[in-house]
Chain A
Amino acid sequence: SQTIHQWPATLVQPVGSPLSLECTVEGTSNPNLYWYRQAAGRGLQLLFYSVGIGQISSEVPQNLSASRPQDRQFILSSKKLLLSDSGFYLCAWVITGGTEAFFGQGTRLTVV
């Protein structure tokens, strides 16, 4: 079966510290992977998407970056976190054709 794993579930980091969130997918090959961020009480903002290894597209220029080192691995990073980076980060796997999206459990990031 197809599953998507995301960790950690919660994270509290000081301003200026680095960030690494990892997302892995099982049960499929060459998935289309996405990182979304959700501020409190708001909708999902698309940050990055990747259609293959080493292929990253950014929707919103900001303090974050993404990498796709392996087919089923998608990583969200930052060199120096800002307070405004706080939010709920979701990794998603969208089936080719956009017929459905599966989400990871999400990471609640609080920058203090």
Chain B
Amino acid sequence: QKEVEQNSGPLSVPEGAIASLNCTYSDRGSQSFFWYRQYSGKSPELIMFIYSNGDKEDGRFTAQLNKASQYVSLLIRDSQPSDSATYLCAVTKTAGNMLTFGGGTRLMVKP
């Protein structure tokens, strides 16, 4: 079992819709959870991080964490074509500071 799993996609949504990206992790002791956006050929950029169970909102983005189910998600409201990218979920291990990444989900927002 991979430590961090994501559906590779592509996930296709129409402009203005809500995009829902999901991530599961295997280490029950994981503490911090991150969502990165990566445009083709570019390095990842941080969108949000979440530490506590529940929802965290930042503009059009909402991260949701459920530690009991070992599940973290990212919702993008009012999706725009510029949101088309690969979204990477990352988790910190209990030991050290390493970020372990999932394989990423490619999102396509169609005008």
Contact = CB atoms under 8 A, between A and B. Distances in A.
Interface of A: 32, 34, 36, 41-44, 46, 49, 51, 88, 90, 92, 94-101, 103-106, 108
Given A46-B100, A98-B98, A103 B31 contact: no
Q: How large is the interface on B (under 10, 10 to 19, 20 to 34, 35 or more residues)?
A: 20 to 34
A48 to B, nearest CB: 11
Nearest to B94: A98
Contacts of B43: 90, 103-106
B92 interface: yes
Contacts of B93: 98
A42 B103 contact: yes
22 contacts: A32-B97, A34-B98, A43-B102, A43-B104, A46-B98, A46-B99, A49-B96, A49-B98, A90-B44, A92-B99, A95-B97, A96-B97, A97-B97, A98-B92, A98-B93, A99-B49, A100-B34, A100-B49, A103-B44, A103-B45, A106-B43, A108-B41
